[in-house]
Structure 1
C-alpha cells in the first residue's frame, strides 16, 4: 500500500469511531500529525521517540505534536507547527488529507490527529530538545494484527487491555498506538 492508496481509502471512508477509554473530565486541547511518506512505493508513518530527560512521557514513542497555543489559529495549525518544530518539516511539504476522531487521554488531553502526506523528497532533522530519534514504520506492518500484542493494566480496579507494537526504539502503545489503530481501521474498506 502506498500513499496514493491511502489517500483514496482515507478520503472515501467515514471517520472511524475512536476505540478508547471514556473520561468525562475537561481536557486540554492538543494536536498531532500522522505523517506518511512513501519509501520504495510503500507507505510509512514517521514517528518520534521522546528524550528520556523530559518530565512528561519520557522515552515514549509518539507522533509529532503538542499543546494548542494561543498563537495557533486552529488545531491543524498546531499539528503543522509541531511537525516543523520537532522534525523541521515545512508546511509546504505536507498535504493534509484530513483528521481522525478526537482522542481523549487519561492524562488530561484531547488530541486531534491530522493525517498528512509528505512529499516524496521530504527530509527531516530532529530537534534534539524534543526528539531523541525519528524513524519509519510500514503501514502494512502496522495494519497486521499479528504484529500487535495485548497489554493488560489496571484502571479503577478493572483490567483494561491496550495494544502494543514493538519498534526498534521501544514499545509503541497508549494514545499513539490507539490513534494509529484508528487510522488503519479507517483504511480497511471492503474490496
Structure 2
C-alpha cells in the first residue's frame, strides 16, 4: 500500500544521491612559456565520434566515483595529457555553463607547474590529436567573433498529437545561443570552449601585463 510515510522514507533515502550523469568538468590550464602566460589547448582525436578535430580544454563527464567536479577536471587532464594531479594548482572556478544539449559544465582555472615544454606531455592519442598554446594577452587584444545558434525540436512521426491539442509536427525553435569564435593562426576555437575563454578573460585584470 502506498502511504505518505513510505513516500517520505523513499525521498529521504535518495536525497544524498548526487546525479552526475549529465554533468562534466573541464580544466582551463595555464602554463608559462618564456615568462609569458599561455592557455593550453588540445585538438580532439579525429577517431572520436563526438566533435572530432575540435579544439577544447581537457575535461569530461563526472563519474560517480569522482569526489568532486574539481577532481574530475584534474583526473581527465591526467588521463588525456599525462599531467600529474600534484602539478595542477587550482586558481579558481568560473561560473558553470549549460550546453545547448543540456549538459552542465564546471570550468576550473589552473596553473600547471613543472611543465617546461609541450614535449613533456604524455598525450593519450586515442582522445587527443595534438596540443597548442595561445598567449593570454592575445585573447585580451582579440575579442571573439559572435554568431547565433538556434536550437529547436521536432516531434517524432509517431508522436500522439491526438492527446495534446494545438501542436504542430513542424520544427519549433526552442532557444537561441550566442556562439563565440576565436581564430588563432590555423586554429579555430569556438562554441563552449570559446565561451569559457570569454568568461575567463572578462574576469581577469586586463590592465596587468601577461
The TM-score normalised by the length of structure 1 is: 0.78
Paired residue for 2:133? 136
Determine whether 1:103 maps to 2:91.
Answer: no
Determine whether 1:86 maps to 2:80.
Answer: yes
**Please, what is the CA RMSD of the aligned residues?**
2.2
**Highest Rg: 1 or 2?**
2
Which residue among 145, 149, 160 is the counterpart of 2:145? 149
Aligned equivalents of 1:33, 1:85: Cα separation in 2: 12
Aligned equivalents of 2:180, 2:114: Cα separation in 1: 30
**Structure 2 vs 1, CA of residues 190 and 121 (structure 1 numbering), >3 Å: closer, same or farther?**
closer
Paired residue for 1:184? 201
For residues 1-191 of structure 1, the aligned pairs below 5 Å read 28-122=22-116, 123-146=120-143, 148-156=144-152, 157=173, 160-168=177-185, 170-188=187-205
TM-superposed CA distance for 1:163, in Å, is 1.8
TM-superposed CA distance for 1:53, in Å, is 2.3
TM-superposed CA distance for 1:92, in Å, is 1.2
Aligned equivalents of 2:26, 2:176: Cα separation in 1: 28
Q: How many residues align?
A: 165
Runs of 5+ unmatched residues, structure 1: 1-25
TM-superposed CA distance for 1:161, in Å, is 4.2
